[in-house]
Amino acid sequence: MHAIGPLDLATLYHLTEHHFFAATCPLHRRFNACVNAYFADLYVNEWNLLFIHVGSSPVGDATDTILELIPRTALPVRVMVHQDKTECLHKPLVSLDFSVVETTTAMVLDLATSPPASTNAIAPQISLTHNLEDWGGPVGSAFAMSAEWTAHYQARHQLAMDGNKGLYHFTLTIQGTVVCALTLSMIDQVARLNDVGTLAAFRGQGHATRLMQAAMAHAVSLGARWCFLEASTQGVSLYRKMGFKDLFDYQAFWRGPLSALTPQHSGETAVG
């Protein structure tokens, strides 16, 4: 079997990243293989923002394009910059009033050499669900979403499901209460985990680990060899214990809103 090197794994990571965000965001624009922008929502709320991802490939002239786009965007903007691009983009972004907010880590698990452990499907109950009301509770709670935003996020996932975009939603239930949820996305038999969330009272009890193992077992049944995720600094140690390996770090930059926009104007501004 052909060995996949670090660069190939980074390419696969970005494939799953783009697939997930393109499937769950109303609008997106691909500048080149390195730079992608995603407009998060069509509604004016606290999560209505523009994501820009600067990845592993050569950035080319896309840097000038996004630096011109940002001042024309009144929405909040979050820019995720690959560790190799941080030095060249740090100063220009700071000059545009961005702040450094956090570092996250792109990670990969070889499902062939680290197969997911078996899970008990009865207690707690683990389900592949089409009921996004159940799924949305732990996700909204874990990411401090308002009820309105959670409903919008559920609606975006429902559209992706209806469009057969390769999204699968898992929940873990204890005594009738859905306490943990996540999203598995699949493209070209490559898997990605997102939206891993647990209700506060049930954290630290291994529920997220069991649910991730169940989702990855489903991915294996669909032919997946690799599973990717993006980890916060708090989650990295857990994922390493599960066998995930570091690929690279993202540096996140944040600039708040410049002024209020109508939904229609927001979309036009965000995608340029």
DSSP 227-272: EEEEE-TTTHHHHHHTT-EEEEEEEEEEE--SS---HHHHHHHHH-
pTM, two decimals, is 0.89
Phi, psi of 135 (to 5 degrees): -65, -40
Give the chain's radius of gyration (CA, Å): 18
Closest CA to 98 of 107, 89, 106, 109: 89
By CB atoms closer than 10 A (0-12, 13-18, 19+), residue 260 is exposed
The per-residue pLDDT string of the chain (272 residues; one tens digit each, 9 = 90 and over) reads 456 666 699 999 999 999 999 999 988 999 988 999 998 775 545 556 789 999 999 888 888 888 888 998 888 899 999 999 999 999 999 999 999 999 999 999 999 988 777 655 555 799 999 999 999 999 999 998 888 889 989 999 999 999 999 999 999 999 999 999 999 999 999 999 999 999 999 999 999 999 999 999 999 999 999 999 999 999 999 999 999 999 999 999 999 988 654 443 333 333 43
Q: What are phi and psi of 70, to 5 degrees?
A: -60, -45
- How far apart (Å, rounded) are the C-alpha atoms in residues 110 and 184? 16
Q: How far apart are CA 107 and CA 122, in angstroms?
A: 30
Q: Judge whether 56 and 85 are in contact, CB under 8 Å.
A: no
Backbone angles phi, psi at 181, to 5 degrees: -150, 160
Helix 147-162 vs helix 132-142: crossing angle, to nearest 10: 130
Q: Which of 139, 94, 104 minimizes the C-alpha distance to 255?
A: 94
Residue 120 confidence (pLDDT): 57
- Domains along the chain with CATH numbers: 6-105+249-271 (3.40.630), 113-224 (3.40.630.30)
CB distance 180 to 201 below 8 Å? no
